[in-house]
Amino acid sequence: MQDLSSVREEYYAASKTKQSALEFYNLMADYSKDNKTLLAYKGAAIALKSKFTFEKIKKKKLFIEAVTLIENSVKADPNNAEIRLVRLSIQENTPKFLKYKANIEEDKKIILTSYDKQSKELKEYIKIYIGQSTVFTDSEKQKIK
């Protein structure tokens, strides 16, 4: 299994193309250890795979599996800003009809209030995400400069 910084880079790339999403899924698919942050990324990888799956039943099954992993990670470590960022990124980019948007404000609040306590590397990662995100206001984006 790769280190967290590699996983972050792969996740960022995975959001760009189907090929990258499938590579990220293949990277994370066999992860079965107990690191809740990596399990949240595994959930994100499954969610991205579901985005590119055209068979409706399989798509739904993958999405439910993804959400379950992400939600269990949040429950296990509710103050982890990186897990919250993963969930927020999935909720922000999930179609409305899937009704997986309920925690965006809660996740934003935890990410923003705990930002100063994060490692330099994670701060940079959060800053990049927030910069391109549409759910953060301009004033929220200014707070993390």
> What pLDDT digit, counting tens, does each position of 33-88 carry?
999 999 999 999 999 999 999 999 999 999 999 999 999 999 999 999 999 999 99
Residue type, 122: L
Position 129, amino acid: Y
Q: Of 55, 40, 48, nearest to 93 (Cα)?
A: 48
Its pTM stands at 0.95
Looking up tokens 């969930």, which residue turns up?
87
d(CA 81, CA 123): 10
